[in-house]
Amino acid sequence: MNVPFLNLKIQYESIKDEINAAINDVIEKTAFAGGPFVAQFEEEFAEFCRCQHAIGVGNGTDALWLPLLALGTGQGDEVITVPSTFIATAEAISFCGATPVFVDIDEQTYNMNPDLLEAAITPKTKAIIPVHLFGQTADMDPIMDIAKKHNLYVIEDACQAHGSEYKGKRAGSIGEASAFSFYPGKNLGAYGEAGAIVTNNADLTSKTKMFRDHGQARKYYHGMIGWNARMDGIQGAILSTKLKHLESWTEARRKNASLYNELLSNVDGIITPREADYTRHVYHIYAIRVQNRDELIEKLAEKEIFCGIHYPVPLHLQEAYNFLGLNKGSFPVAEKCASEFVSLPMFPELTEAQIKYTTDNIKQLL
């Protein structure tokens, strides 16, 4: 049996007629850069996130970078985040001219440990970016309380958390702004690059809309030095089409995760993901923790079961961030988890037979 890590083709086949019609509509109307299809998706996605505004941009990195700029983040500022995330979280901070400051993660949820947050705040701190890793929200109430106490902005990195919830609130609706990625493999994925900023802040919305379009509120009149960070029309139309199916796909992911949990529970040498009681996990990634994970991945591949690692090297140990002067041991929980994570196959169309075949082989190999 073959068990791919991800299968985008099977999802496309299930909604092929809808997708092809949406793409054809964009082509017929020649609405390729921004335009009505992007505007429609923005309205629909804002409603989905239970927020007032959504701004479609070129990718998830734009979605992290632009709100930081709009909130005045710049040279000499510090922004607190976690080392357990994709590098885009820190890149967005760096490209504002600010410095990323890391705090360690909670070993149960793999998200920011709020108990460590306040100690990382200095007079230079401008904002906090909690990352909703793997599809589970960070513990936002204490993070928001600390931010309010110190007059700091909170920008949610919700790039892996489409539809996740924190105490009944949608991911992305809690902080001053939030960033979503629609990279093709995401729970809501484009057929190329795309992202969105979600916020209830009208002024931030206005600024980011200008910045994504070369700093212009109307054509050829530039109120600021901006950038080209527009979402294209085809991606907007595709995302509108796929958004209608997102809830059913999320439930399928949750069902798959539940089966994984059941079949891997009480197996020596495996730590399965924990869903915190305050969140609704959407399982963008289903990551177990094991020892000798490279050997396990290699042996599973021999059985045509294909896994991944998210993320093998925490950001503070990446060569790109050597200048921060942080060494191994700086964030022990993040480092420990990074050495143990194995991302198992996870997508809505994954079958019960594929999950059982995967877990049976994991048990045998361990």
Q: Tens digit of pLDDT for each residue in 36-79?
A: 999 999 999 999 999 999 999 999 999 999 999 999 999 999 99
Residue 211 and residue 347 in one domain: no
Last residue of a domain, one of 189, 210, 243: 243
CB 180 within 8 A of CB 195: yes
Same domain, 258 and 336: yes
Q: How far is CA 113 from the centre of its chain?
A: 18
Is the domain of 100 the same as that of 237? yes
pLDDT in tens, 100-147: 999 999 999 999 999 999 999 999 999 999 999 999 999 999 999 999
User: Where a domain ends, among 220, 243, 266?
Assistant: 243
Quote the longest CA-to-CA distance of the chain. 65
What is the span of the domain harbouring residue 296? 246-365
Looking at the fold, whether 72 and 217 belong to one and the same domain comes out as: yes
The answer to whether residues 158 and 211 belong to one domain is yes
In this structure, what are the phi and psi dihedrals at residue 128, rounded to the nearest 5 degrees?
-125, 135
Instruction: State the virtual CA torsion across 249, 259, 304, 183 in degrees, nearest 10.
Output: 30
3 in any annotated domain: no
Task: State whether residue 7 is helix, strand or coil.
Answer: coil
Query: What is the residue-level pLDDT of the chain in tens, covering all 366 positions?
Result: 999 999 999 999 999 999 999 999 999 999 999 999 999 999 999 999 999 999 999 999 999 999 999 999 999 999 999 999 999 999 999 999 999 999 999 999 999 999 999 999 999 999 999 999 999 999 999 999 999 999 999 999 999 999 999 999 999 999 999 999 999 999 999 999 999 999 999 999 999 999 999 999 999 999 999 999 999 999 999 999 999 999 999 999 999 999 999 999 989 999 999 999 999 999 999 999 999 999 999 999 999 999 999 999 999 999 999 999 999 999 999 999 999 999 999 999 999 999 999 999 999 998
- Give one word for 301, left, alpha or beta, with left for phi > 0 and alpha for psi -120 to 50: alpha
HSE, side-chain direction, 13 A CA sphere, residue 298: 4
Question: Is 1 domain-assigned?
Answer: no
* Run of H or E including 238: helix 233-243
Q: Is the dihedral of CA 170, 53, 194, 48 positive or negative?
A: positive
Q: Are residue 196 and residue 145 in the same domain, yes or no? A: yes
The DSSP string of 135-189 is G----HHHHHHHHHHTT-EEEEE-TT-TT-EETTEETTSSSSEEEEE--TTSSS-
Tell me, yes or no, whether 100 lies in a domain. yes
Same structural domain for residues 175 and 202? yes
Q: Residue 290 in contact with residue 366, Cβ under 8 Å?
A: yes
Beta pairing class for 216-218 and 221-222? antiparallel
Number of domains in the chain: 2
Pairing of strands 153-157, 177-181: parallel
Say if residue 252 is in the same domain as residue 214. Answer: no
pLDDT at 266: 87
CA distances from 168 to 50, 143, 195, 244, 280 (A): 11, 17, 24, 20, 8
Whether residue 346 is found in the same domain as residue 319: yes
* One domain for residues 150 and 290: no
**Could you tell me the pTM of the whole model?**
0.97
243, 265, 283 — which closes off a domain? Answer: 243
- Could you tell me how far CA 115 lies from the centroid of its own chain? 23
Give the torsion sign (CA, 270, 257, 42, 205): negative
Residue 274 lies in a domain: yes
Q: What is the CATH number of the domain that holds 169?
A: 3.40.640.10
| In-domain check, residue 2 | no
The two structure tokens encoding residue 273: 């993901």
φ/ψ of 57, rounded to 5, equals -135, 180
